[in-house]
Structure 1
Amino acid sequence: MVTVEGTSTARFEPVRAALAAHLESGEELGASIAVDVDGVMEVDLWGGHADAARTAPWHRDTLVGLWSTTKTLSSLAALVLVDRGALDLHRPVAHYWPEFAAGGKGDVEVRHVLAHTSGLSGWQRPFTMDDLYDWPTASARLAAQEPWWKPGTASGYHMQTQGQLVGEFVRRVTGRTLTEFVETEIAGPLEADVQIGAREADWPRVAALVPSGGAPDVPPGLDPASVFVRTLLGSPARDEHVDTPRWRRAELGAVNGHGNARGLARALSVISRRGEANGLRLLSPDTVEKIFDVQADGVDLFLGVPVRWGLGYALADRRTMPGMPTGTICFWAGWGGSAVVMDLDRRVTFAYTMNRLGAGILGSERTHDYIGHVYEALGTAN
């Protein structure tokens, strides 16, 4: 019988049961789930194994690669700078990064990057992992590139470019890397066990990601000039690159964050609680409200499904995330299923991380199952 460790209040026992069932069935290898309710961690659960051979148990402090759930941290970093007046959402990116004006991008605004509407959803090929690992090269290539559609008119998910763009903002206005900024301004003050990349001292507690076998590929017959194909082929990171020293040492603010559910819930609860968490005010209520200023609402040019994009996060929409009610809720998910949901109406933050990657564009079936149980416990009809 699988043992799920950690704590959960009585109303959230079905969440514990769901995690136990997925671990017992083998769908889940190792995972952690956290639910913060207005500053109280009512769910802090973990279980299973940190390796495919099932020789290493998943511990309380086990970390795991987050894939695109990393973007929730990068977007929070950008919002902190907006709140401090260092970034203006409506100013051209070129105001902070003059080289970015090349290629007809002089009117692309900061908000377009955060909302995936800048037209830079991938790198122009040829672009390799060596290029991605080299910060100056990756930034210079985006600065020189022409948009793939008219900025601000539609969203096209910036699968691997968004972290580079946000990271460049951080470097230009603070003189620090995104990794440093997240560590010193978010993770440290909020006592959140999250980071961009992974410090070498933490490698022994990083669980290995286990691919689902469904890595993105280009279906035959698609137009090679389409945003989908150009984005996929112009985003070189794949499953085989993770859990390597180069990956962990890199600063890839869209894809190579590391953390666990507790750490993500602690960090992102600052949004659910309208700017304040762990005794620290990180954002003003007005800045938090800006997240819900709809920037794009329609079929995303890369994801191929309807997404309502606010600033830095997708907004609650049953078309996008099953099991989630409508309301003042924002979220994002990573390849394989990890996810964070920030519910401002209920002051609830849900986070989930795992090492066996599941299938699905925005969260796996397991992700949706856990979210459904959380909202059932909260008494919210879906």
Structure 2
Amino acid sequence: MTDVHGTVEPGFESVRKVFAGIVADEARDGGAQLAVHHRGRLVVDLWGGDGVDGDSLLGLYSSSKGAMALVAALLVQDGVLDLDREVASWWPEFAAEGKEEITLRQLLAHRSGVIGTDGGFTLDELADDRAIAARLAGQRPFWEPDTGHGYHALVIGALVGEVVLRATGRTARELFEERVRAPYALDYYLGLPEELEPRFRTALPMLPTPAQQALLAENPIAPDSLLAVAFDLHADPPLDIVAYANARAVRAEAPLSGGGIGTARGLSRMYAAIAGELDGRPPLLTSDTLAEFARIHSRGTDLVTGEENAFGLGFVPLATRHPSLSAAAIGHSGAPGSQSFADPATGLAYSYTRRRFGFMSGPGAPENDRLVPAVVEAAAKAV
């Protein structure tokens, strides 16, 4: 059996047992980390498996959408951004091809239809949100805006980030660093400093599981599908999603749609700052702001993935995926199968990360279905 390392506070021993079983099952697929905060305390800090320790920095892909949504929520809370204002009022070039009435709310709810470009992007472009935004400004939507929703997998960060830049003169990365990462000393980065690169390389490169490789070989994605457009699989060459996080340009430039690098401990701490008081500071978001961003804005069949899902504003309402959570729970998954969230109703913050991919675009690896209820049950019994 693969060894599990780290600590749990009294009352959370059952979580360690569940995690140990998962790591043993998944050992052939690489290592994993699990961190949980409860009422501002780190109560679970575990890791195990191939190529990972508690300090290994991992490519956490769409976890960065949660960081992006947090920056947007703070700016809405400050009165700097208006959710119902047209994007083109900040960014005039975006009005091309019938996009003049798309609002910031529609962007954040994955309702704009601007999921990619007709010709696709290069990897260098996908590492640079300004390059993505410049291409998207003149792009037609792939469906009539606000008539449905579909996962804006590789572009939502560039779209929202351009609005932030036009409205404030600052990048979302800069604002995240100043208002969130640095004050809370998060081991989670939008833009990995060069000096921290050895901690990424210490964990073996991000790799697909054999199961994922077999699944994609048996079920090729049609290059003219919305799924192909959203994941840049219609480009020449198609995007290699695994190579994405392994590219230094992506780690350095940190595209907001998928460039987050960090540990489970760091990402759980970010959500702990949303879930309640942390280090003597009040929650980052007021109850009103949190309620608006957690409220379901899109629900039903996703036009891109074909799956039934739901979106709030930037964040995913996690109770739709994990019924043991409250309606206030918000977070985001990442392509390797990671899942992270805050549940302010219970004071929980959670982050599960893994080095290898379970699949490409799902809502977090299935082991979260075992871990999340175990964490919720242990927290409910904690004094």
The two structures share one fold, judged by TM-score above 0.5: yes
Q: 1:297-330 CA distances to partner (integer Å, 9 max, x unpaired)? A: 1111112222221111121345xx2564453222
Cα distance in 2 for partners of 1:268, 1:237 equals 29
Alignment of 1:154-233 (within 5 A): 154-206=148-200, 207=203, 208-213=205-210, 214=212, 219=219, 224=224, 226-232=225-231, 233=233
Residue type of the alignment partner of 2:197: W
Residue type of the alignment partner of 1:341: F
**Which residue matches 1:85?**
79
Residue type of the alignment partner of 1:63: L
Q: Name structure 1 gaps, 5 residues minimum.
A: 51-57
CA offset at residue 335 of structure 1? 0.8
CA offset at residue 28 of structure 1? 5.3
CA offset at residue 4 of structure 1? 2.4
Cα distance in 1 for partners of 2:130, 2:199 equals 30
Cα distance in 1 for partners of 2:234, 2:12 equals 42
Alignment of 1:1-382 (within 5 A): 1-25=1-25, 26-27=27-28, 29-50=30-51, 58-206=52-200, 207=203, 208-213=205-210, 214=212, 219=219, 224=224, 226-232=225-231, 233=233, 236=239, 238-273=241-276, 276-281=277-282, 282-318=284-320, 321-322=321-322, 324-325=324-325, 327-359=327-359, 361-379=362-380
SS in 2 for 1:176: coil
Q: 1:171-210 CA distances to partner (integer Å, 9 max, x unpaired)? A: 2233233332222221111221111132111111112212
CA offset at residue 21 of structure 1? 2.3
Contact (CA 8 Å) 2:56, 2:263: kept in 1 or not? yes
Cα distance in 2 for partners of 1:283, 1:228 equals 33
SS in 1 for 2:246: coil
Q: 1:127-167 CA distances to partner (integer Å, 9 max, x unpaired)? A: 22233234443211111111111222221001000111122
CA offset at residue 29 of structure 1? 2.4
**Which residue matches 1:53?**
none
Question: Greater shift after overlay, 177-186 or 328-337?
Answer: 177-186
Residue type of the alignment partner of 1:309: F
Cα distance in 1 for partners of 2:20, 2:223 equals 44
Residue type of the alignment partner of 2:242: D
Distance 1:204 1:74, change over 3 A: same
Cα distance in 2 for partners of 1:76, 1:351 equals 16
CA offset at residue 79 of structure 1? 1.0
Contact (CA 8 Å) 2:330, 2:342: kept in 1 or not? yes
Question: Greater shift after overlay, 127-136 or 338-347?
Answer: 127-136
Q: 1:101-143 CA distances to partner (integer Å, 9 max, x unpaired)? A: 1111111111111111111122221422233234443211111
Cα distance in 2 for partners of 1:288, 1:18 equals 31
Q: 1:249-289 CA distances to partner (integer Å, 9 max, x unpaired)? A: 2231111101111111111223322xx53333432222111
Distance 1:296 1:62, change over 3 A: same
Cα distance in 1 for partners of 2:154, 2:161 equals 12
Contact (CA 8 Å) 1:115, 1:311: kept in 2 or not? yes
Contact (CA 8 Å) 1:261, 1:352: kept in 2 or not? yes
Distance 1:24 1:316, change over 3 A: closer
Cα distance in 2 for partners of 1:292, 1:136 equals 28
Distance 1:153 1:374, change over 3 A: same
Contact (CA 8 Å) 1:323, 1:371: kept in 2 or not? no
Q: Name structure 2 gaps, 5 residues minimum.
A: none
Distance 1:324 1:228, change over 3 A: farther
**Which residue matches 1:55?**
none
Considering fraction of residues, name the structure with more helix: 2
Contact (CA 8 Å) 2:325, 2:343: kept in 1 or not? no
Cα distance in 1 for partners of 2:279, 2:107 equals 29
Contact (CA 8 Å) 1:178, 1:251: kept in 2 or not? no
Distance 1:20 1:286, change over 3 A: same
Aligned-residue sequence identity (percent) comes to 35
Contact (CA 8 Å) 1:248, 1:256: kept in 2 or not? yes
SS in 2 for 1:154: coil
Cα distance in 1 for partners of 2:87, 2:358 equals 36
Distance 1:324 1:212, change over 3 A: farther
Contact (CA 8 Å) 1:178, 1:196: kept in 2 or not? no
SS in 1 for 2:341: strand
Distance 1:28 1:90, change over 3 A: same
Cα distance in 1 for partners of 2:264, 2:371 equals 13
Contact (CA 8 Å) 2:326, 2:345: kept in 1 or not? no
